[in-house]
């Protein structure tokens, strides 16, 4: 399945890339946002695409190579928190614009084979970069009941966290939980079905914890002055309240300290037509600042 970029028109309008500028997409994914940015940087622009997933970086590189149009394209498989080091290593100046789309890819759900989808009979891994950290299965099978409960509550905002953790510990005592679909079935046995699958928030919590998504977000927000030049633009798309709260509160603090200027006082959300065309966009929120 092709990853459909969310809030594309709004991102391009607000970031306003122009010929010759230097832009960074810190979560380049399949290149959905990157392509129209690159087209507006030609000629003589520079584009740096960063992603944790080696498959997605390769896909983006293959997709965008023929669209360069005089733009220098650079791709790196890295955590976006490493962008300051990449700039120093490549002797690149601070950029004119930075985009972070914090949604995880359709590829991860449909084709990665890493257990992001609870509907698939796949190993419970959930790492964007399989060479870093521990797979979700290790967390599920080794964390204490208390630690599991706290993780599921904190990162999934799951009100049944204690009940789920207790059930997981009981189930793994009989047999290690190694597949995504097995974890889903364990949760479905104790929680009623509804508008969303009862395993949804637990899977969200695991994904966030395994990849330290909130920690990385907090880090990059503090690194913005090392990445983006004065008057440069920063656009961040979030998909759940935990992310958006961090971005909103940090932008407010940076604005109060005089480090950034908030461009959109009211958060930007997808229009009704976009939500109809792409249901995955319904929870997206876009916030934009300029660096002072």
In the chain, what percentage of residues exceed pLDDT 90? 83
- Give the mean pLDDT of the chain: 94
Q: Which of 12-16, 84-88, 114-118 has the lowest mean pLDDT?
A: 114-118
The pLDDT value recorded for residue 134 is 96
The pLDDT confidence band at residue 107, using thresholds 50, 70 and 90, is low
Query: Is the model's pLDDT at 3 over the cut of 70?
Result: no
Once rounded to an integer, what is the mean pLDDT over residues 95-109?
85
The pLDDT confidence band at residue 81, using thresholds 50, 70 and 90, is very high
Q: Of 22, 29, 49, 12, which Cα lies nearest the Cα of 280?
A: 29
The pLDDT value recorded for residue 1 is 44
Q: Domain map of the chain by residue range?
A: 8-107+213-291, 129-210
The residues pairing with 58 across neighbouring beta strands, listed in sequence order, are none
**Each residue of 151-202: pLDDT tens digit?**
999 999 999 999 999 999 999 999 999 999 999 999 999 998 878 899 999 9
Total-model pTM: 0.93
Once rounded to an integer, what is the mean pLDDT over residues 277-289?
94
Regarding beta strands 285-291 and 228-238, do their DSSP bridges make them parallel or antiparallel, or are they unpaired? Answer: antiparallel
Residue range 129-210, CATH number: 1.10.150.170
In sequence order, what are the residues at sequence separation of 6 or more whose Cβ sits closer than 8 angstroms to the Cβ of residue 160?
A: 190, 191, 198
The pLDDT value recorded for residue 114 is 87
Tokens 């928190």 belong to which residue? 81
DSSP letters spanning 193-254:
--SS-TTHHHHHHHHHHHTTHHHHHHHHHHHHHHHEEEEEEEEEEE-SHHHHHHHHHHHHHH
Task: Measure the CA–CA gap between 284 and 103, rounded to whole angstroms.
Answer: 8
**Each residue of 201-256: pLDDT tens digit?**
999 999 999 999 999 999 999 999 999 999 999 999 999 999 999 999 999 999 99
Residue range 8-107+213-291, CATH number: 3.40.50.150
């Amino acid at each position: 399945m092709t990853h459909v970029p969310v809030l594309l028109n709004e991102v391009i309008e607000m970031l306003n890339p122009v010929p010759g500028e230097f832009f960074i997409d810190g979560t380049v994914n399949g290149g959905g946002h990157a392509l129209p940015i690159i087209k507006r940087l030609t000629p003589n622009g520079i584009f740096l695409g960063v992603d944790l997933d080696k498959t997605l970086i390769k896909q983006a590189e293959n997709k965008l190579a023929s669209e360069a149009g005089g733009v220098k394209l650079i791709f790196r498989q890295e955590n976006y928190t490493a962008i300051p080091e990449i700039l120093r290593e490549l002797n690149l100046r601070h950029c004119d614009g930075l985009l972070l789309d914090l949604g995880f890819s359709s590829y991860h759900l449909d084709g990665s084979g890493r257990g992001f989808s609870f509907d698939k009979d796949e190993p419970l891994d959930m790492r964007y970069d399989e060479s870093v950290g521990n797979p979700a299965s290790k967390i599920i099978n080794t964390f204490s009941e208390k630690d599991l409960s706290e993780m599921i509550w904190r990162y999934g905002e799951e009100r049944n966290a204690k009940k789920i953790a207790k059930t997981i510990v009981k189930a793994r005592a009989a047999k290690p939980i190694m597949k995504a679909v097995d974890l889903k079935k364990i949760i479905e046995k104790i929680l009623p079905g509804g508008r969303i699958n009862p395993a949804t928030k637990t899977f969200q919590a695991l994904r966030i914890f395994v990849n330290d998504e909130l920690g990385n977000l907090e880090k990059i927000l503090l690194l913005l002055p090392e990445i983006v030049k004065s008057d440069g633009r920063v656009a961040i798309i979030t998909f759940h309240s935990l992310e958006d709260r961090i971005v909103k509160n940090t932008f407010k603090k940076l604005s109060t300290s005089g480090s950034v200027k908030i461009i959109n006082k009211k958060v930007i959300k997808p229009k009704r037509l976009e939500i109809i065309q792409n249901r995955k966009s319904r929870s997206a929120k876009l916030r934009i600042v300029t660096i002072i």
